[in-house]
Structure 1
């Protein structure tokens, strides 16, 4: 396959277990780009949370964020694509969540809003590096269409209850995905990383067969299925492995760098595999 575009997820893919970007990974991505191959990041993160990593990677092509709901040009930070959740839908979901005392996070204008500080906000900060805005009751606060909503719930039985409720009441309005086992991520219906990717590929005149994509979570599934060569990280969700074309080594062992070195015959020194 002649690869003209490579798409990378961040957490669990480009980033290691500490959510850090290794110099070897940066070097590998830059060497691929020198071959004339476009490189794109597609993440569930906020743009402001992805930016420190995309800047180190010196990305120049659009950044797909919020699982596909927002695309930003990293050169001038212009919004190229934005599909937020309709206000009426977001308002109803927010009221349901508050009534049932679940932890909810709202993302509006690339800012994070939560009711109060707790174990979930602390955990999320360690992942994202973004300080939330504490605004009290979210059902009283919400007055705009959020780009994304996130419910964090670690109890599996309660997760099932929440997902079932959302699917039964809002199936025609929202898309559910997950980048972490405890995350229930909500975007507008029919939004995924694959949606803006298709638009960008058409704009660049690149066929799906000429696109390679790497991911690890269920929020990568539609992207992995659509591209010509979908690569699941060794640490990926089992369902992603079922729909991928190949496997890259673990994200915590220079997985992307190792795969790119072998596939594109890069001149790159990498520590011996663990």
Structure 2
């Protein structure tokens, strides 16, 4: 018996223009009203995913950051997997040494290593 339907955002829920269409939102609402759980599973950070879901008036639990963070439909975290600060500093040093660019997800959203001192605060 199916109890849960999970969907990715980019390339699945989101239209090619980057938003959830009314038709897709209506289907999700119908799924939820039928008694099925609906959950979003995305590589996006919470705030990016929530912005798109709010615009479509969709409320659901979310798995974000490629599985590193899970949230209930109210935005309360179930589980957050984080990297210790000392490890994050070592990673930043490696990226800086190789003049590499990386996006980093934090509790406050996505950032880059362009300003590592601000990031570590």
| TM-score (ref. length: structure 1) | 0.40
Aligned with 2:17: secondary structure?
A: coil
Q: Which residue of 1 aligns with 2:51?
A: 52
Q: Which residue of 2 aligns with 1:92?
A: 90
Separation of aligned partners in 1, 2:7 and 2:108: 21
Tell me if the contact between 1:46 and 1:110 (Cα under 8 Å) persists in the aligned partners: no
What is the CA distance between 1:31 and its match in structure 2?
Answer: 1.3
Q: Which residue of 2 aligns with 1:187?
A: none
Cα deviation digits, residues 217-239 of structure 1 (max 9, x gap): xxxxxxxxxxxxxxxxxxxxxxx
Tell me if the contact between 2:111 and 2:119 (Cα under 8 Å) persists in the aligned partners: no
Aligned with 1:103: secondary structure?
A: coil
What is the CA distance between 1:94 and its match in structure 2?
Answer: 1.1
Unaligned runs of 5+ residues in structure 2 are none
Cα deviation digits, residues 20-50 of structure 1 (max 9, x gap): 1111111111112222111001111111111
Aligned residues: 120
Tell me if the contact between 1:91 and 1:142 (Cα under 8 Å) persists in the aligned partners: no
What is the CA distance between 1:143 and its match in structure 2?
Answer: 3.0
Between Structure 1 and Structure 2, whose CA radius of gyration is higher?
A: 1
Unaligned runs of 5+ residues in structure 1 are 117-135, 145-274
Cα deviation digits, residues 44-76 of structure 1 (max 9, x gap): 11111111222224224x21111111112232x
Q: Which residue of 2 aligns with 1:32?
A: 31
Q: How does 1:1-274 map to 2 (within 5 A)?
A: 2-55=1-54, 56-60=56-60, 62-75=61-74, 77-116=75-114, 136=115, 138=116, 140-143=117-120
Aligned with 1:7: secondary structure?
A: strand
What is the CA distance between 1:15 and its match in structure 2?
Answer: 0.6
Tell me if the contact between 1:105 and 1:112 (Cα under 8 Å) persists in the aligned partners: yes
Cα deviation digits, residues 112-166 of structure 1 (max 9, x gap): 32244xxxxxxxxxxxxxxxxxxx3x2x44436xxxxxxxxxxxxxxxxxxxxxx
Separation of aligned partners in 2, 1:15 and 1:58: 13
Separation of aligned partners in 2, 1:110 and 1:143: 12
Separation of aligned partners in 2, 1:20 and 1:54: 9
Tell me if the contact between 2:113 and 2:119 (Cα under 8 Å) persists in the aligned partners: no
Superposition misfits of 4+ residues, deviation over 4 angstroms: none
